[in-house]
Amino acid sequence: MNQDSKKKNAAEAAFDLIKPKLNKDTVLGIGTGSTTNFFIHALNSLNVEIKGAVCSSISSEKSLSSSLKILSLNEVHSIDFYIDGADEYNDRFELIKGGGGALTREKILASSSDKFICIVDDSKHVDLLGKFPLPIEVLEIARSAISRQLMKMGGKPVYRNNFKTDNGNQIIDVHNFPIQVPFELEEKLNNIPGVVENGIFSNRKADIIIKAKDTIIEVLER
């Protein structure tokens, strides 16, 4: 089974999991990326009655059916279910996210959700986070200064050319970054002046990971 088929299966399994719990007061959080796009397609294809959806990117907002109300986080008390993919996850349900550049809004929505459901294919599992370059959203004025700090910490920062986040900021992708203690590194990076957010999701882990393999779907809960 190819990777897109696995992503599609994981996304549809997530939809099947939450569908019985959806009602007219439900607020969904929708992430960003290729796997999440399959979830959006499943959501669009069925007539579900919910209060609306808060999206982590303009791209995801544009993909939603016009029959679904797009909400801002400021309009809602909380998000019932946040659905998103990941670039990596480990056995402690810690993640690296941000390959699509929406990591700041993704982390805000995940932190505002009652249940964070992460949908992945089996290639995303790692024992140690960091094989995938760690995205960090930064203010433009601080990009070079932050890059020098990251090099001192052992990483190889690479500026993501011709890319701006929906917040108007820039992305540095850090290669060869040893992430031995994700929680500590997440906080340390966010304390660097000019860093908006980084792609380590350790403080707010996934609650459920739905993993698609060749022949089965695994639903993992912590």
> How buried is residue 84: exposed, middle or buried, by Cβ count under 10 Å (0-12/13-18/19+)?
buried
| Burial class, 139, CB count within 10 angstroms (exposed 0-12 / middle 13-18 / buried 19+) | middle
C-alpha 90, offset from chain centre: 14
- Cα separation, 166 vs 200, in Å, equals 19
Distance (Å, whole) CA 203 – CA 97 = 13
Active site residue 106: yes
CB 32 within 8 A of CB 54: no
For residues 145 and 203, is the Cβ–Cβ distance under 8 A? no
Catalytic option among 88, 94, 106, 137: 106
Residues with active-site annotation:
106
